[in-house]
Amino acid sequence: MIKVLIAEDDPRIALLHQNMVEKIANFEVIAIANTISELKEYIELMRPDLLLLDVYFPDGNGIEFLSWMRSNAVHTDVILITAAKEMASLEKSLRYGVFDYLIKPIMFYRFQSSLQKFHDYKEKVISQEELSQSKVDAFFNKTMQTNKPLHVGLPKGVDSITLEKILSALHQSQTFFSASEIAEILGINRTTSRRYLEYLAGEHKVEVDSLYGSVGRPERKYKLKTTE
């Protein structure tokens, strides 16, 4: 089990991230820190495997905390989760070796992808006593596929933001949804919902089932595929 420490100054967002982590197998949240001082105490005491780190805190800065970690030989891996969109923040965090950089508000689909990539990293690279080039290549190839932007090659009328929202909604449950149900959840119209769901069906990302209603007309329902 991968031990996760969440560092987020807003308790509501911290709870949201905790709920998201708990939906993903092989991860558990061991503590939440709302300040830098709490974070320093928890990370030294608990030595988590992964830190989900915000940038802005009332008593400090997450980027500066990365520097403190390296200076104090704290080797916990870090995924930065922040509203900071400045290129300087990204450049500094990469220099300190963060595993990933997520910009708020986060779609669950992207969040899960990041944690799954980290799990694969721990399982397939760190746990190996001896590495071969093929093992390293297999990991990095999967990483690059995982990080492939959703907007690459999308047809006209399908944008990446709405697509991620629909994927996130489907991730919430392993049940079938109609286009109308997804439309209601996201506050979009039914035609738009159906267009995106049919696109995902064509990409083999969702399963499709036809259910007959009371008037005998079949209604297409969609469920996210668990495996590809």
Domain match, 91 and 11 both: yes
Angle of CA points 64, 140, 66, to nearest 5°? 5
36 with 100, same domain: the answer is yes
* Domain hosting residue 212, numbered range: 160-224
62, part of any domain = yes
Examine residue 124 and state whether it is found in any structural domain, yes or no. Answer: no
Q: Are 80 and 101 in contact (CB under 8 A)?
A: yes
User: Is 133 contained in some domain?
Assistant: no
Is 6 contained in some domain?
yes
CATH number, domain of 209, equals: 1.10.10.10
- On the question of pLDDT at 54 being above 60, the answer is yes
Last residue of a domain, one of 109, 126, 152: 109
**Tokens 């495996």 sit on residue:** 227
Q: Which residue's structure tokens are 């030595």?
A: 47
| Structure confidence by residue, pLDDT tens digits, 29-40 | 999 999 999 999
Q: Which of 109, 124, 143 is the C-terminal boundary of a domain? A: 109
Q: Are 115 and 3 in contact (CB under 8 A)?
A: no
Judge whether 185 lies within some domain: yes
List the CATH number of the domain containing 22. 3.40.50.2300
Residue of 165, 49, 62, 179 lying closest to 106 (CA atoms)? 165
What are the tens digits of pLDDT across the range 168-195?
778 767 788 999 988 888 888 999 999 9
Length, in residues, of the chain: 228
Split into its structural domains, the chain has a count of 2
Helices 108-121 and 160-171: angle between axes, nearest 10 degrees: 70
pLDDT tens, position by position, 201-221: 888 888 898 765 555 567 889
For the whole prediction, is pTM greater than 0.75?
no
